Amino acid sequence: MKCEEPYKNRIELLQGTLDMLILQTLRWGPRHGYAIAQGIRSGSEEVLQVETGSLYPALHRLEKRGWLRATWGTTENRQRARFYELTAKGKKQLAAEQAKWSQMVEAVAALMSREAGGEQV
Amino acid sequence: MRWLDLLRRRDRELRDELEAHLQMAVADRMASGASRADAEAAAKREFGNTLLVTETVRAVWGRTWLESLWGDMRYGWRSLWSRPGFAAMATLALALGIGAATTMFNVLYGVLIDPFPYKDADRLVLISVFDVDKPGEEGRRRIVARDEAREFARLTDVFEGFANSNGGRGVLDHGGLDYQVSVVAVSGDVFPFIGIRTMLGRGILPRDAEPGAPPVAVLSEGAWRRYFAANPGIVNRTIQVDRQVRTVIGVAAKRFAWFTGDIWIPDQNGFVTPANPAGLRYMQGRLRRGVSIARANAELNAVGKRLQADNPTPYPKNMQIRGVYCIDDLVGPPFRLTLYILSGAVFMLLLISCSNVANMLLSRASVRYREIGVRMALGAGRMRIVRQLLVEALLLAAGGAAMGSVLAYGGVRALQMVLPPNTFADESVVELNLPVLLFAVGLAMITVLLFGLAPAWQVARRDRIELLRGVSRSAGEVGRNNWLRDIFVGAQVAMSLVLLVGATLLMRSFAGVFMADTGVDAKSVAIAIPFFQQEDYRDRGRLRQLMQEAEIRVRSLPGVRAVARAGLTPIQWGGIPVEVGGVSRGLQESVHALASGDSTGLLDAAGYRISQGRWLTEADVAGKQNVAVINETLARSLNIASAPLGAKVALHIGKEPILCEIVGVLKDAPNQGMRLPVQPAIHVPVTIFPIWPGQLVVRAHGRAAGLIDPLWRELERALPNTRFIYVKTLDSLLESELGAHRFALALLGTFAMAGLALALIGLYAVMSYAVARRSYEVGIRMALGARALQVVRLVATRGAVIVMIGIAAGTAGSAAATRALASYLGPISAHDPLSYGAVIAALALTALTAILVPAVRALRIDPARALRHE
């Protein structure tokens, strides 16, 4: 995954988190691919940048797994676009991922703070 | 191709989706103040490589089985296309086999297996009286009299029911015109008995057959179309049949052709008419389910014995009463045998074509190991390879099946046109029969799949390194499955030989029939048979007078060379058998002969040739002289061939034998049709042995065809009030007799050619591959200085040996197979050396071509290229 400028304060997404972020973004209702990318970017205060080369394969992968459903619709600007929404299976998956994520965040945070402390000793 | 649409749609949608993303990104940037050009450039840069994105997304969905099938098909197509010769030959071979087999089995099915639309037609028998002392049909009486029918009808424990019918010619008077039609009188129970359906109205019921019931008629579908323009309102209208007004009560369903009737009428009088005082009729019975024909025959015979004891006169000494299956009757033994022989030939053809294709596939397999090795080395799984080969085989089979179906359709259409009339049931229809087609296609498919997968089967047992190393380099290395190919080639040659020998023998015997001397000049002879009103037959003196006058009037017609009254038709007498006993010179035994009462002109009119003595003179005929002219066969049978003239014979006609002096002997000429041996025959003056109504034999100066019309018109004037007059040229009668032969001849010829073509295709294909496989070896040999002849010998020897073994096996097989044909071949021996020689020569020549062409091509191999190839 290449990380190009223009914003220097961006970081790469952790492996496996993109799926969760997409599901999370769609919690508020159906959105098209561009809106999802924008949602992740603005939701993370411009820190997380999603490459289209990762976004669309991920969307289709989730659709194939049955977590998302896609329909064609029009945006407020009369642009025809493919809208994704969560399926029941997708919602369940999101809940599971969230639980796993908080566990991981806690574990990583604990580990990182101890190591940081150890260094100080 | 819906799944293809699906694939294309997914691609299109993805493109649209990504395009929408780009558009929105551009719109956003323009909204925050960028120019369109800047916005587009920035959006594109941010988006990255569209193609890469598309590919990645596609990979997410993966290739569906449909997509890979499509891929396999394209690959298979390219692979076949890369060797168009192979594809064309294999397809052609399959198509020939499928087409020919299907066509022939369709004829068999329509004519032999399911010809009748009648209920339980397979249990219908015609009750016939046989004279055991006479062979076959000659000793058979197909009709039974009213009294006999009454007795047989009591056998209800073996028969479910009976049908009595009597067909005859009649006249339909319609719209001021008379039409010759076939009017069949049936007993009241016939329609329910055979389970006939009507298209309009109802069939004949028992109550219509009660005496005094109103006269009714049922029309055939054909007559309804022809004479009444398929008028749906025909029911309850009246028509005039044989001068009697009848109400039409129904129109029979298609294919219903009981006794070839145009019109069926109920019989109300036990079939008794002035012309048929005994009430003769055809009587059919349907065997009860589970009752054997043998048991039914035993019961019939018991009744027969009783009848004979009561009144022995109408019965032969050694009598047997038997039911003959209707199917056997309508499809006579000769034509039936022809069909069986043809179907045997055709099945062989199908086998040849299948083995042909199998062989081509095997040959092809041997040069594909390398390709398969490469694919496996690149990571293709075994199943993947098998599937690919399967798809390729299916493509091939589908091509062959499609082309074969087209051939079968064309073949059936062509056969419908050349099927001879009067050789099988009128009810039978020959049409493309789907199960039959599926059978042939199925067999071909199985062959192709079985042998198309041969490479996969071989590969499964091989190391892929070995495959890669190039097993195609020389023949020896892959020689392990060569024996299978060789067997196929040999078997094919052998089968083709059997097919060709059988066909040639039959063709030779058929051709003999066509070329045989008819004894008369058939092209210039016409016959005319008048059918009088029923009541006219009572006054025979008047009939004789009428016929005599008719003879005189026809004689003065322009173009007529000679005319005569005759008892029977030349060539096809059919015949009234009589007993002829020699009374002088000690001959005691009487012999059977065909008798005819003729007038003086017949010698010239029929073109008979005198071998001794003279023909009947005017004085003989007018003076009712007891004289006779016999044919050479009868002279031999009576044992008076050395000095026949002056001998006296007793002619047993009626109660008192007539003593006739032999005044002349005719050269033998066919009198039982062209295919049966000449029967003993005797001609006497028409005045002492009249046959009613008799017929006129007319000889034209040129061809008789032009005489038919004036002859018919003149007779209509000379013989007013006849029901109708049947006028035909002898030539056309012969044509309908020999039609079946012509048909068989044409078919056999076609199959023989198809067999030869297949053999050629098969050998050529196999030899071509053998050469292609050995090009490396040939290259080396030529580089080392081998001469052309040596190279040809190297390549051709193996093929030649196989062909020779095949020919030997085929000759032996033919000798065995044609023994079954012997009875059908007539004068041609089943081991006719000429036929064998010609076929073996033709096949050997064909094989030589198929072997030498690729062998000579091997000479053009460039040693440098062949070696560099490795």
Tokens of B442: 């199925």
Dmax over CA atoms of chain A, in Å, equals: 61
CB atoms within 10 A of CB B353: 34
Whole-number CA gyration radius for chain A: 17
Q: How far is CA B191 from CA B161, B208, B250, B256, in A?
A: 12, 11, 12, 11
Residue B703 shares a structural domain with residue B753: no
CA-based nearest residue to B485, from B772, B797, B802: B802
- Which residue from B649, B725, B712 is spatially nearest to B680, judged by alpha carbons? B649
**Closest Cβ opposite residue A52 in set B13, B28, B48:** B48
CA distance, residue B32 to nearest chain A CA (Å): 15
Q: Which residues pair with B660 in a beta bridge?
A: B649
Domain presence at residue B92: no
Residue B91 forms part of a structural domain: no
Length reported for chain B = 870
Q: Do A80 and B13 touch (CB under 8 A)?
A: no
**Is residue B403 located within the same domain as residue B383?**
yes
Same domain, B192 and B274: yes
Would you place residue B499 in the very low, low, confident or very high pLDDT band (cuts 50, 70, 90)? confident
Does the pLDDT of residue B82 top 90, yes or no? no
Mean pLDDT computed over B596-606 = 84
* Range from B171-180, B425-434, B603-612, B852-861 carrying the lowest mean pLDDT: B425-434
Closest chain A CA to residue B13: A82
Q: Which of A8-22, B93-107, B166-180, B594-608 has the lowest mean pLDDT?
A: A8-22
Name the residue in chain A with its Cα closest to that of B60. A61
Nearest to A22 by CA among A33, A9, A10, A7: A33
Residue with tokens 């029009």: A74
- Please indicate, yes or no, whether residues B393 and B484 belong to a single structural domain of this protein: yes
Instruction: Choose the closest CB to B21 out of A4, A33, A72.
Output: A33
Looking at the domain assignment, is residue A113 inside a domain?
yes
Tell me how far apart the alpha carbons of residues B501 and B814 are, in angstroms, rounded to a whole number: 7
Characterise B120 by phi-psi region: left (phi > 0), alpha (psi -120 to 50), beta (else): left
pLDDT at B866: 65
Q: What is the least distance, in Å, from the CA of A44 to any CA of chain B?
A: 18
ipTM of the complex: 0.82
Q: Nearest residue of B to residue A64 by CA position? A: B61
Q: How confident is the model at residue B477 (pLDDT cuts 50, 70, 90)?
A: very low
Using CB atoms, which residue from A37, A64, A82 is nearest to B61?
Answer: A64
Quote the minimal CA–CA distance from A22 to chain B in Å: 16
Helix ranges, B651-729 (H) = 708-718
Whether residue A79 is contained in a domain is answered as yes
Any chain B CB within 8 A of the CB of A32? yes
What is the least distance, in Å, from the CA of B38 to any CA of chain A? Answer: 15
Q: Give the highest mean pLDDT range of B105-109, B447-451, B482-486.
A: B447-451
Regarding whether B293 and B189 lie in a shared domain, the answer is yes
Answer for the pair B264, B230: CB distance below 8 angstroms, yes or no.
Answer: no
Q: Residue A91 contacts by C-beta under 8 Å, 6 or more apart in sequence? A: A27
pLDDT band at B665 (very low <50, low <70, confident <90, very high): very high
B17/A34 CB distance under 8 A: no
In a domain, B112, yes or no: no
pLDDT at B136: 67
DSSP annotation of A47:
-
Strands of the sheet containing B724-729, edge to edge, are: B560-566, B695-700, B525-531, B724-729
User: Min CA distance, A89 vs chain B (Å)?
Assistant: 19
Contact B313, B334 (CB under 8 A): no
Distance of CA B352 to the CA centre of its chain: 21
Q: Which amino acid is at B384?
A: R
Backbone Cα Rg of chain B: 38
Among B14, B17, B48, select the one facing A53 at the smallest CB separation: B48
The owner of tokens 């039914």 is B296
pLDDT in tens, B170-191: 778 777 667 778 888 998 888 8
Co-location of B667 and B755 in the same domain: no
Q: Are B776 and B869 in contact (CB under 8 A)?
A: yes
Name every chain A residue with its beta carbon within 8 A of the beta carbon of B47: 52
Instruction: Tell me how many residue pairs between chain A and chain B have CB atoms under 8 A apart.
Output: 64
Which of B25, B49, B52 lies nearest to residue A34, judging by beta carbons?
B25
Q: Which of B456-470, B600-614, B627-641 has the lowest mean pLDDT?
A: B456-470
Kindly tell me if the per-residue pLDDT of B249 is higher than 90.
yes
Percent of chain B scored above 70 by pLDDT? Answer: 80
By three-state DSSP, how is residue B834 classified? helix
Q: Please give the tally of structural domains in chain A.
A: 1
Whether B758 and B686 share a structural domain:
no
Mutate to test the interface with A, among B9, B19, B21 (most CBs of A within 10 A): B21
Say which amino acid occupies B264: W
- Round to whole Å and give the CA distance between A33 and B212: 94
Q: Are residues B421 and B489 in the same domain?
A: yes
Cα B7 to Cα B10, B58, B611, B833: the distances in Å are: 5, 10, 89, 66
- For chain B, list residues whose CB is within 8 angstroms of any CB belonging to chain A: 13-14, 16-18, 20-21, 23-25, 27-28, 45-49, 52-53, 56-57, 59-61
Among B483-492, B591-600, B696-705, top mean pLDDT goes to B696-705
Residue B340 CA: distances (Å) to CA of B328, B411, B570, B821: 13, 18, 32, 11
**pLDDT value of residue B400:** 87
Hey, are the CB atoms on B24 and A61 less than 8 Å from each other?
Answer: no
- pLDDT number for residue B692: 66
* Residue of chain A minimizing CA distance to B59: A57
**B216 pLDDT tier (thresholds 50, 70, 90):** very high
Which of A36, A60, A62, A78 is the best mutation test for B, with the most CBs of B within 10 A? A60
Tell whether A9 is covered by a domain. no
Burial of B185 (0-12, 13-18, 19+ CB in 10 A): buried
Q: To probe the interface with B, which of A4, A32, A56 has the most B CB atoms within 10 Å? A: A56
* Closest chain B residue to A32, measured at CA: B21
Choose one of B668, B695, B722: the last residue of a domain.
B722
Contacts of B17 in chain A (CB under 8 A): 32-33, 56, 81-82
For B539-572, give the secondary structure using H, E and C. Answer: CHHHHHHHHHHHHHHHHCCCCEEEEEEECCCCCE
SS3 B325: strand
Is A33 part of a structural domain of the chain?
yes
Domain-located, residue A48: yes
Average pLDDT over every residue of B752-781: 74
> What's the average model confidence in pLDDT over B241-260?
82
Q: State the average pLDDT over residues B502-526.
A: 76
Measured between CB atoms, does A60 come within 8 Å of chain B? Answer: yes
Within an 8 Å CB–CB cutoff, is residue A51 touching chain B?
Answer: yes
Whether residue A78 lies within 8 A of chain B, CB to CB, comes out as no
A1 band by pLDDT with thresholds 50, 70 and 90: very low
Task: Please tell me if residue A56 touches chain B, with a CB cutoff of 8 Å.
Answer: yes
A64 has a chain B CB within 8 A of its CB: yes
Task: Provide the domain count of chain B.
Answer: 4
Q: Give how far B437 is from chain A: nearest CA, Å.
A: 44
Mean of per-residue pLDDT scores for chain B: 78
Of B315-319, B453-457, B549-553, give the lowest mean pLDDT range: B453-457
The amino acid sitting at B166 is N
Instruction: Of A81-90, B340-349, B504-513, B826-835, give the range with the top mean pLDDT.
Output: A81-90
Shared domain check, B208 and B183: yes
Domain limits for position A70: 17-120
Query: Is residue A6 included in any domain, yes or no?
Result: no
Residue B775 lies in a domain: yes
Same domain, B681 and B810: no
B60 → closest Cβ in A34, A61, A80: A61
User: For the segment B23-50, what is each residue's pLDDT rounded down to a tens digit?
Assistant: 888 888 888 888 888 888 888 888 877 7
Range of the domain at B147: 121-330
pLDDT at B658: 80
Instruction: Name the minimum distance, in Å, from the CA of A119 to any CA of chain B.
Output: 40
Instruction: List beta partners, residue B165.
Output: B186, B282
Phi, psi of B172 (to 5 degrees): -100, 120
- Point out which residues pair with B697 in neighbouring strands: B527, B564
Is A91 a member of any domain?
A: yes
In the prediction, which pLDDT does B247 show?
A: 93
Taking only the tens place, the pLDDT of each residue in A49-73 is 888 888 888 898 888 888 999 888 8
For residue A35, is it within any domain?
yes
Query: Is residue B376 over pLDDT 90?
Result: no
What local confidence, expressed as pLDDT, does residue A121 receive? 39
Residues 6+ apart with CB under 8 A from B262: B172, B181, B182, B183, B219, B220, B222, B223
Residue pLDDT, tens place only, B117-151:
677 777 888 898 888 887 666 678 888 888 888 88
B-proximal residues of A, 6-25, CB under 8 Å: none
Which of the pair, B512 or B564, is modelled with greater confidence? B564
Q: Which of B57, B61, B64 to mutate to test the interface with A (most CBs of A within 10 A)?
A: B57
Higher pLDDT, A38 or B721: A38
Domain-located, residue B483: yes
CATH number of residue A38's parent domain: 1.10.10.10
Among B12, B45, B62, residue at a domain's last position: B62
- Are the Cβ atoms of B49 and A53 closer than 8 angstroms? yes
The shortest CB-CB distance from A53 to any of B24, B28, B56 is to: B56
State the pLDDT at residue B469. 59
The number of CA neighbours under 13 Å toward the Cβ of B259 is 27
Taking CB atoms and an 8 Å limit, are B17 and A61 in contact across chains? Answer: no
B chain contacts of residue A50, beta-carbon cutoff 8 Å: none
Instruction: Tell whether B554 and B465 lie within a shared domain.
Output: no
> Cβ contact (<8 Å) for A32 and B21?
yes
Q: Which of B16, B27, B48 sits opposite A77 (nearest CB)?
A: B27
Pairwise pLDDT comparison (B858 vs B716), residue with the higher score: B716
d(C-alpha B494, C-alpha B499), whole Å: 9
| pLDDT tens digits along B406-439 | 888 888 777 767 665 545 555 556 666 677 778 7
Q: Is B284 exposed, middle or buried (0-12, 13-18, 19+ CB in 10 A)?
A: buried
**DSSP string covering B38-98:** HHHHHHHHHH--HHHHHHHHHHHH---HHHHHHHHHHHHHHHHHTSHHHHHHHHHHHHHHH
Domain shared by B404 and B495, yes or no? yes
pTM of structure: 0.56
